[in-house]
Chain A
Amino acid sequence: MTETDQKTDTVQKSDCGCKKLTPAMKPPTRGLNRRNLLLKVGAGLNGLAAAFMGVPVLGYVLSSFTREWPKSWISLGPLDRFPQGETRLAVYRNPVSKPWDGDTAEVPCWVRRIDPTTFQVFAINCTHLGCPVRWFEESRLFMCPCHGGAFYEDGSHASGPPPRGLYEYQHKVESGELKVLGGHLPTLAEPL
């Protein structure tokens, strides 16, 4: 007879017809406290182990949430690339790019040269939802293809859903080159 069978035998029908535990069915109490203690220690140890494993994993996954991304000055090329009174597309390579970024490391922006020393550099992204705005020389407007936002040549809001004018880069002229402070995608939470 197996152990299970023995246990089944000890279940007896009482008068009411329901199952009743005989003393033999009661679990042995000897060593139980020790077992409870082991369960608690085991659970606690696993909690600790989970923290040991989980905290670094969370840190790894959330690192982009907490990390600061420094901006840096990037050259858009020599000044004579930008004729006075005109708005031209310029491209720079993202300063935090990786070798396997491919074309996505190239960032376009609009450079407006007002006079020999005054510039405006706009992000390509519409302030509504980030689509690329296009410059129309003839009507001197930036137009967005997504939801129809339009901006004047100085970047201010002309019409449509955008909540503000175009994002404008900080810029400076250094050793004959136009430089912008860039390195992140502009959004309403973090304009340039």
Chain B
Amino acid sequence: MLRSIALWLEQRLHITKLFEATAGHKVPLSTNSWFYVFGSGTLLCFVLQILTGTCLAFVYVPSTSQAWTSLQYLNNEQFLGWFLRAVHNWGSIFMVAIMTLHLVQTFLFGAYKYPRELTWVSGCVLFLCTLGMAFTGQVLRFDQDAYWGLGIGASIVGRIPFIGAQLVHLMLAGPTIASETLSRFFSLHVFVVPGMIIALLSLHLRLVLTKGINEYPKPGSLVRKESYGAQYEDLVETTGVPFVPNVIGKDLIFSGCLVIAIVTCALVFGPTGPSGPPNPTLIHTAPKPDFYFLPIYAILALLPAYMETFLLLVAPVLGIAILVLLPFYSGTGEKSYRRRPMAVVVVLLAFLTTGLLAYLGTFAPWSPHMEAWSAIATPPAYVKGRSALELQGAILIQSKQCRNCHSLGGEGGMRGPALDTVATRLTHDQLIRQVIQGSGNMPAYGKNLRPAEVTALVAFMQTLRPSYQPPARDSTQMASR
């Protein structure tokens, strides 16, 4: 009975043929490697995102007046709503991470070379689409960070010459961040970008079938346009095994671990946010992007101002062009990373740079510590045995918010230098000049401090040095003495 049903279906659907052409297609045995599991892992994350995203859309309200409340409802009222949100969030983090590994693996294994140029190009666009999903998804978690994140996006777009203002209106669906902005991002996140991903993914997988998966590269085996096709066919002919069931095992194990890892993270860490309500009048907030955009957030604080617009507008275009066009200027030759030291250096540098910037972005040492002046105590050692004038200065360092940028005893802002040993670096006159006129990144306080206040402040700062180090001296005065 079952057999006849199977036969009936086979005759109608030609399942065997379909299987042979897709899952059962032959791949070189060398691809049965743990390095080849990241593509299927990314795909699995995408499927998980669609599943959880669809469930979240059952409840979520894409309206600026209700979105935040509906997220709270999902977290606290809807049965397992918090879990679905957490899996969606962790799924996105894992998707970006695994996709990055996939990109690095295909780069280091020379998989982008002839004849797989389009596989690479479609993969790069998929990567950008996924980052687009990450940004639009962050907006849908419509809280304070999302609201001001949109403002940051608009400010970046507003730097585009000539049509900046119009592009800001297009992005925000109007002149300000309002209901239509959120509807626009909802539509992008739920319909437009996933649609693009599905279309590109079909092309990507189709190309993997037609052009074959990249063989595990042997050092010294060069890709030549004239001979590669025949070589690959030969390789499949001699060492080819069907992907299912011979090679899929490692993918299955990796995928299983991946889902368990995502669910474990979701269970342990729970959903992210929403943070404070998206009310623009609640200005006591320090907006920060999700971790994927922390390197960009960091670089925007560290760049010299004159480079900023260039780096915001031109560098991404250049970077994407270099990445996408890679197979067209480096499409043949050596594939193995063992013989491509520059490729390895590029990957290491890229990881080091983004990792370091993300680390800096997490702690944001360039931002003033807005509550330091009122919330952090003066270290007792710095007030012990000080004169009345010096103590007055210690009070002024707090009350004039100096500590928002300068730390004492390791606590306070990190935008300016720590003041613990300032007396060893600046003389009395230099301290006065610095306070009154400012310089570099320090505002001038001349207008905001009375002369008596400056005197007290400087008197206190002159006590800030370890007993074993002499105070800073003015060499010109030494000479005249």
By a beta-carbon cutoff of 8 Å, the part of chain A in contact with chain B is 62, 64-67, 69, 89, 91, 94, 96-98, 100-108, 124-125, 128-134, 136, 138-141, 143-148, 150, 152, 158-161, 163, 183-185, 187-190
Contacts and interface: CB of A to CB of B under 8 A. Distances in A.
Nearest to B164: A189
Contacts of B373: 138
A131 B447 contact: no
Contact of B63 (A66, A102, A128, A145): A102
A129 B155 contact: yes
Contacts of B450: none
A108 B281 contact: yes
B193 interface: no
Contacts of B344: none
Interface of B: 63-66, 147-148, 151-152, 154-160, 164-170, 172-180, 277-281, 283-287, 297, 300-301, 303, 305, 308, 366-368, 370, 373, 399-402, 404-405, 415, 438, 440-445, 447-448
B168 A190 contact: yes
A94 B301 CA distance: 30
Given A146-B367, A148-B368, A185 B175 contact: yes
A175 to B, nearest CB: 25
Contacts, number: 200
Contacts of B279: 103-104, 106
A105 B179 CA distance: 9
Contacts of B166: 65-66
A103 B146 CA distance: 14
B154 to A, nearest CB: 6
A143 B402 CA distance: 12
Nearest to B298: A147
Contact of B447 (A129, A140, A161, A190): A140
26 contacts: A64-B169, A67-B169, A89-B281, A96-B174, A100-B66, A103-B277, A106-B279, A108-B281, A128-B300, A130-B148, A130-B152, A130-B155, A131-B287, A139-B400, A148-B301, A148-B366, A148-B441, A159-B441, A159-B442, A159-B443, A185-B151, A185-B154, A187-B159, A189-B167, A190-B158, A190-B168
A1 B455 CA distance: 111
Contacts of B284: 134
A158 B169 CA distance: 30
